[in-house]
Amino acid sequence: MIENITVFYNNLPDGHLLKLLHDEHESIKYILDELERELQSLNNYSISDDAGSVIEKLKILTANLLNAEPHHQREEDILFEAMEKSGISGPTSAMKTEHVGFREYKDKLKNQIDNINNGEFKENKSRIRYTATGLIGFIRGHIEKEENILYPMAFQTLKEPELWQELSQNSEKRIGPCHFQKTS
């Protein structure tokens, strides 16, 4: 039983797969916070021409969400696969289904932002706001489930340090890092 989740992540050794995944979540959560802020500022503009810099930032942030793909791949192909080999399949398949869901969501948001200047600005803005707000809540909830339930479950199921080493090596070799762009 893991009593304190913060202590659990703080105590993981550098290079541990779960530490890397947890750090990637921190980057993703930061992107979501920025996205939320930029959506607020977009709301202040009534003409698209005036909102140029906000729109640029929204494009970078959406690209960054798409650039988080290696993280999801790392979970599916390395961590979940190892858990499934140990007999855990329900929780991993639920997470994979959510990945499919937010991949579609991200594409939809990118499309809406790319087309912000086609048609009514006011309508486009509210469409973007609706999609982005849904996506932000979806990803935050997903991260919470992984950090509080799934990762600790993996840690308690996969006991051998050698296996974790092998998983980290495979992750580095087969997946590689996420690349995020800065917004300013």
CB of 28 to Fe ion, least distance (A): 7
The nearer residue to Fe ion, 15 or 52, going by C-beta atoms, is 15
CB of 62 to Fe ion, least distance (A): 18
Distance CA 166, CA 149 (A): 23
The nearer residue to Fe ion, 55 or 136, going by C-beta atoms, is 136
The nearer residue to Fe ion, 83 or 95, going by C-beta atoms, is 95
The nearer residue to Fe ion, 38 or 75, going by C-beta atoms, is 75
- Where b means 16+ CB within 10 Å and e means fewer, 58-97 reads bbbbbbbbebbebbbbbbeebbbebbeeeebeebbeebee
CB of 114 to Fe ion, least distance (A): 25
Binding site for Fe ion (CB under 5 A): 75, 95, 146
Q: Which of 19, 9, 149 is nearest to 74 (CA)?
A: 19
Calculate ∠ Cα 105-106-111, nearest 5°: 100
CB of 106 to Fe ion, least distance (A): 13
